[in-house]
Structure 1
Amino acid sequence: MSEKIKATSYDREAFWFQRRAFLEKAGYRLRPKFNPRFVGPKPPGRYSLGDHTAHHPRKNIMDAERISDGQQVMLKWVSKKTNPFEVELARFFSMPALARNPKNHCIPILDVLRDPQDSDKQIIVMPRLIRFDEPIFDTVGEVIDCFRQIFEGIQFMHENFVAHRDCSLLNILQDPTKLYPRGFHPVHSCLNPTNDGLAYSITRTECWPRYYIIDFGLSRRYDPSNGPPLEHAIPSGDRHPPDYAGTECNPFPEDIRSLGDILKRHFIRSHPSCGGGTHMPLQFLKPLVDDMTHKDPAMRPTIGEVIQRFNKDCDRLTPWQLRKPGQALDWPAWFDQVLRQVRNAFKGMLPLPSRPASTPRALGPRMRTFYTKTPKMPMEEKARKVN
């Protein structure tokens, strides 16, 4: 590897270069490029300049291999000063009693390491997952299965009085183990493990992956006995803040709005490359999504009500409606998708997996207020915040 490329890699990933030996001692091996004696491929692969050019978009994230069994994992350093509750909440949902619950879609925490050079930092170890929307959703049934799981995961968090507060495209992941049976590159999931060719993937209908919710840096747990919580409204990870950003709001309806925004912006609407407009096979969800993104937080449904309406709407669909494209496609891809679904129908492949239905808890008036109402701030406290 040239000295210039090596220096660039070190600048971007200095934290991980400096902790390579510590991580190996703790049982986690970084990619070969982190070894000082690593030499890059000559010539580089067709699809990239080589593995040494592959960087994670966030400097606090890194992939690794667990030495004891070869499991592929992700590492993330967390600042206790910046995100004091992240590790605590992540560990909370990884407690055995909660981890065994099938409704729990919070990413499991495999290990927590104390950084040897900075007492403010902790390194959490998690399974290696990928974005939930790659590759493209092949059918309406695949979209339904995805959001059934995500709604169920948020319901589980809310039932434990935790608001995520950053539900976005980047914070919903999926288990790629079966989706990419020959593996994939930890930075570029569309490429193979050696980063020099396209990765081989199958459709979700052939493997039905499990989806997970990650990143609890902004999440908080609240005590219902204190009444409805009040937090500053914040932009979500996909950078579409609500109209009232900067004001105080109840964070539970904000989770509902964020999920509705994902459905509206990335599924109900077509991608501009496919002509824009609306994606007709998912228009049956528009009334629910409109209520989830209602400007008045108190008018949005609770996550339990979202699940009830979502299941009722989806149960009306015929098998062929479930096999329609999950996202907008151009003409050649649309034709291939139709042929694929005809083949799947003849092979007897189900358009939806058989999963037990989630049964939301009935909410009394007091708990419904906790999850939906935005409390009024006392005038003296409001004046103090303004000043």
Structure 2
Amino acid sequence: MEYNYTSASFSMHGEQTISPAPPPADPIPTYQPNRPDSYYPSALNVFERIWHDRYHFLLQKGLELRPRYRPGWTPSWLNTKEEFLLSEDSLEQPFPQVMDAKRMKDGIAVCLKAVYRTPKEAEIAKYLCSPELSQEPANHSVPILDVFRDPSTPDFEYLVMPLLRPFDDPEFQAIGEVVDFVTQILEGLTFMHSHNIAHGDCTGANIMMDARPIYPQGWHFKANVCAPDGVTFVTPLARIDHPVRYYFIDYGVSHHFLPGQSRLVLDWGGRDADVPELKKLQPYDPFKVDVFTVGNVFLKDFYQVSAPLYHLPCQLTILTVPEKYLGLGFLADLIKFMMHEDPAKRPSCQIALEKWCRIKGGLNPTTARWRLRKPDETVGERVVLDAIAAARHGIHSLTHLFNEDARTW
């Protein structure tokens, strides 16, 4: 029997009115909650239902979502003596934009990101990982493994990327790890700028790492202290012994300029509220903003404990705030150089990289394995942590981290 979506009703004056027909049904099946009794929520949240509804579509693309998002899913902890915390399918995803999946052809874990189709994000991301650029060692732009449109909302598309972790999770443990990070990030940003692309928002939130070298067994997308089973705790290897690769992600506010095109833009910029020129609504050079922002990452994530940057001149701030880690004083000159308040006097990323190579070349390679100490450690903590670090030291040589042609992979 055909269902007529047009319905009739009567107005206050007794006149019959015809309500407009609702839009046609979505071309993909929608979530039907299975609600058995459970003291822990046994239904998907509103954002998860979007992914559930695309399960079969993604499967056709060679991507399999976790069991929680399969049609007809019933929580595994029901009618058992197991706690829901010990069930992988109890791990909820509270954000609608990203989701993990398994690539069927090789079992590799990937991350899916839903983005609004604009000329910027997907196009810049695809350009930076094109065959001719992806082989460049200095390219630290996140690889894009696939791109396809949403079957129900063509204005949205999915970017398929490797499953990455925040660059500082787990925390840095050795001075050489920081040296490697600074080198990779400056190389990556210089590479991006050399291709006329300004990232626009290269804050710490948009710097990730491929952590497979330190988590060879993998990790769970929503419980990243656990193995892929979501239950078993895993201990990472030391990145000083198993170097990782860092990537820039998210080109939503990036700019790609044509050769000879003016490099001044007028927009709100990224999320770094400390950039001096973004406090005024006037044209600015996004390449100089990138340099300041990356310098601010070095400042806040490695050098200073607090960040009263908007109260004091940059040079005074860096010299007066307490250090976050002891032994990283060699970063001070680089940070001051990159964060000059006057963008006209701020260096290009290439010049900042050259300065960093000179600083790095003057460091003693034996400090590479020195443990990163925090100022607030107690004497007892320091003794124990130093003993652990000494046990790991061994006879490794990391001279290459400080060479002019340092390898970062």
* TM exceeding 0.5: yes
Say if 2:361 and 2:404, in contact at 8 Å, map to a contact too. Answer: no
Instruction: Give matches, 1:330-369, under 5 Å.
Output: 330-331=377-378, 334-350=382-398, 353=401, 357=405
Give 1:377's aligned residue: none
Give 1:286's aligned residue: 332
CA–CA distance in structure 2, aligned partners of residues 246 and 235 of structure 1: 14
Q: What does the per-residue CA deviation read over 1:144-171, in whole Å, with 9 as the maximum and x for residues that have no partner?
A: 1012111111111100000000101111
* Change in CA separation of 1:171 and 1:152 when aligned onto 2, cut-off 3 Å: same
Name the structure, 1 or 2, with higher relative contact order (CA <8 Å, separation 6+): 1
CA offset at residue 336 of structure 1?
A: 4.3
* Change in CA separation of 1:179 and 1:322 when aligned onto 2, cut-off 3 Å: same
CA offset at residue 138 of structure 1?
A: 0.7
Which of 360, 369, 392 matches 1:314? 360
Which of 43, 49, 54 matches 2:82? 43
* Change in CA separation of 1:243 and 1:54 when aligned onto 2, cut-off 3 Å: farther
CA offset at residue 234 of structure 1?
A: 2.3
Say if 1:325 and 1:334, in contact at 8 Å, map to a contact too. Answer: no
What is the identity, as a one-letter code, of the residue corresponding to 2:267? H
Instruction: Give matches, 1:1-387, under 5 Å.
Output: 5-7=41-43, 9-35=44-70, 36-41=72-77, 42-44=81-83, 48=85, 50-56=87-93, 58-80=95-117, 83-236=118-271, 240=274, 242=276, 244-247=278-281, 248-270=283-305, 277-278=322-323, 279-326=325-372, 328=374, 330-331=377-378, 334-350=382-398, 353=401, 357=405
The DSSP-based 3-state class of the residue aligned with 1:206 is: coil
Count how many residue pairs are aligned between Structure 1 and Structure 2: 349
CA–CA distance in structure 1, aligned partners of residues 285 and 123 of structure 2: 22
- Percent identity, please: 30
The DSSP-based 3-state class of the residue aligned with 1:204 is: coil
CA–CA distance in structure 2, aligned partners of residues 351 and 336 of structure 1: 27
CA–CA distance in structure 1, aligned partners of residues 246 and 113 of structure 2: 19
RMSD across aligned positions (CA): 2.5
* Change in CA separation of 1:354 and 1:298 when aligned onto 2, cut-off 3 Å: closer
Say if 1:138 and 1:337, in contact at 8 Å, map to a contact too. Answer: no
CA offset at residue 314 of structure 1?
A: 1.8
* Change in CA separation of 1:199 and 1:309 when aligned onto 2, cut-off 3 Å: same
Say if 2:275 and 2:292, in contact at 8 Å, map to a contact too. Answer: no
CA offset at residue 10 of structure 1?
A: 3.0
Report which of the two has the higher share of helix. Answer: 1
CA offset at residue 355 of structure 1?
A: 7.3
Say if 2:112 and 2:158, in contact at 8 Å, map to a contact too. Answer: yes
The DSSP-based 3-state class of the residue aligned with 1:298 is: coil
Give 1:367's aligned residue: none
TM-score, normalization by structure 1: 0.82
Say if 2:371 and 2:389, in contact at 8 Å, map to a contact too. Answer: no
Q: What does the per-residue CA deviation read over 1:192-234, in whole Å, with 9 as the maximum and x for residues that have no partner?
A: 2222242221110121011111111111111241233223242
CA offset at residue 322 of structure 1?
A: 2.6
Say if 1:192 and 1:200, in contact at 8 Å, map to a contact too. Answer: no
- Gaps in structure 1 of 5+ consecutive residues: 359-387
Say if 2:173 and 2:371, in contact at 8 Å, map to a contact too. Answer: yes
CA–CA distance in structure 2, aligned partners of residues 114 and 301 of structure 1: 40
